[in-house]
Structures are given as structure tokens and as C-alpha cells.
């Protein structure tokens, strides 16, 4: 199915199956239905995977259907009772594989999980590296615009620096995303009143 989308100045064709993406969005909305983001308004969690998929499609012009579906689903296994087997049965092995690559092992201590993200990034697939950057872009935009209510400035600063370490290993998969990340972190630091 071909879908038209308008980005403001130009109209482009998004050559992906809308039904697949709508099924993924509906699945994610159901799984995350009781979760909220950490901002002061406790926004619905689903806003985040929607933002990640939207960023890939609209700002980075990603046309890869499996990657866009995986973006919508990327936090379901890490943060809900959804399983990789369920994802494979519902969306196929490619989508399952991408989500698996970006899913942390929550049985590990947080510090170790964060180090593993940095170490694993350069070895991830092209699709997973794009999804990782998009996820980090959305999170640093949230840190700047609607941060976790109880985070000190130093915690925000540390989080931004950690995303740089992860993104360093993801670069080269999509030049547009690399540039969007660079703009986003610059803007977030400016908003927090800090230098790089």
C-alpha cells in the first residue's frame, strides 16, 4: 500500500504497509496501557514509541517497514509482559530480531546495562543502530522539554553524556539521524545551560 504524507514543504510517498504499522501501534498501546513516562505530567507511555517511529519516518525518511514496526514495539519486551516469541508470532522474525537487539537484560544491575549498551552498539545491525539513535534523540528531547520530575541537573547532564557514548557506536548507519542527534544534544545542552 502506498501512503502519502506531508512534511510541510514537500509531499513524499511512504512505501510501507500502513496496516502493519497500525497493528504494531495498537499492540504497543495495549501493552503499555498502564504505563506513564517520567515527566511531571506523567504522559502516556505510548507517546514515546510513537515519537521514535515518527522521527524515523518523518525526520530521517526511513522506509524500512520492519524498522518502523520495531520502533513502535521497541520498549514492549523490556518494559511490559510482552515476549520475543509473541513478537515473532505476531510480526515475524525480522521485527523480533530488531527489538531483541535493543532490549536490555533487566536482570542485570543498571550500571552494567548502561555499559553493555555502549559496548554492544558498534556490533548491532544497521536497523538496530538507527533505532538506538532515534530512541536516544527522543529521550534527550524529553530531558530538555519534559524531563523526569525528580531529576537533578547533574543527572540530566550525565544522561546526555551517556547517550553520546552509545550513539558513538551507532554512527554511520544513517547520516540524517547522526545529524539530527547532534542538533538535539546541542539544543538540550543549551536549554540546560551547559557547554558540551
Which residue from 62, 129, 142, 189 is in contact with ligand NDP, where contact means CB under 6 A? 142
79 tagged catalytic = yes
b/e burial code for range 47-68 (CB count within 10 A of at least 16 → b): bbbbbbbebbbebbebebbbbb
* Closer of 12 and 125 to Zn ion (Cβ): 125
Judged by CB under 6 A, the residue of 123, 158, 172, 194 near ligand NDP is 158
The residue annotated as part of the active site, out of 17, 39, 59, 79, is 79
Query: Rule CB under 6 A: is residue 50 a binding residue for ligand NDP?
Result: no
**Residues 84-123 as x/- pattern, contact with Zn ion by CB under 5 A:** ----------------------------------------
Long-range contacts of 97-102 (CB under 8 A, 24+ apart): 97/125, 98/66, 98/67, 98/70, 98/74, 98/125, 98/127, 98/128, 98/131, 99/70, 99/73, 99/74, 101/125, 101/127, 101/128, 101/131, 102/70, 102/74, 102/128, 102/131, 102/132, 102/135
Dist. CA 26–CA 53, nearest whole Å = 13
Q: Using CB under 6 A, which of the segments 124-132, 137-145, 164-172, 174-182 binds ligand NDP? A: 137-145
- The set of catalytic residues is 78-79
Interacting residues with ligand NDP (CB under 6 A): 37-39, 48, 75, 110, 114, 135, 139, 142-143, 146-148, 152, 154-155, 158-159, 162
Binding footprint of Zn ion on the chain (CB under 5 A): 75, 135
Amino acid at each position: 500500500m502506498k501512503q502519502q504524507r506531508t512534511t510541510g514543504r514537500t509531499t513524499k510517498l511512504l512505501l510501507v504497509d500502513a496496516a502493519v504499522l497500525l497493528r504494531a501501534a495498537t499492540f504497543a498501546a495495549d501493552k503499555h496501557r498502564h504505563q506513564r513516562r517520567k515527566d511531571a505530567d506523567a504522559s502516556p507511555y505510548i507517546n514515546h514509541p510513537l515519537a521514535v517511529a515518527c522521527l524515523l519516518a518523518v525526520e530521517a525518511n526511513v522506509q524500512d517497514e520492519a524498522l518502523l514496526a520495531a520502533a513502535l514495539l521497541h520498549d514492549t519486551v523490556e518494559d511490559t509482559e510482552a515476549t520475543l516469541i509473541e513478537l515473532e508470532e505476531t510480526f515475524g522474525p525480522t521485527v523480533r530480531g530488531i527489538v531483541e537487539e535493543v532490549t536490555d537484560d533487566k536482570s542485570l544491575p543498571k550500571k552494567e546495562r548502561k555499559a553493555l549498551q555502549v559496548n554492544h552498539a558498534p556490533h548491532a545491525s544497521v536497523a538496530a543502530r538507527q533505532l538506538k539513535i532515534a530512541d536516544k534523540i527522543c529521550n534527550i528531547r524529553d530531558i530538555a522539554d519534559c524531563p523526569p520530575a525528580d531529576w537533578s541537573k547533574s543527572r540530566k547532564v550525565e544522561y546526555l553524556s551517556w547517550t553520546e557514548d552509545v550513539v558513538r557506536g551507532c554512527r554511520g548507519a544513517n547520516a540524517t539521524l547522526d545529524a539530527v542527534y547532534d542538533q538535539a544534544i546541542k539544543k538540550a545542552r543549551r536549554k540546560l545551560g551547559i557547554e558540551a
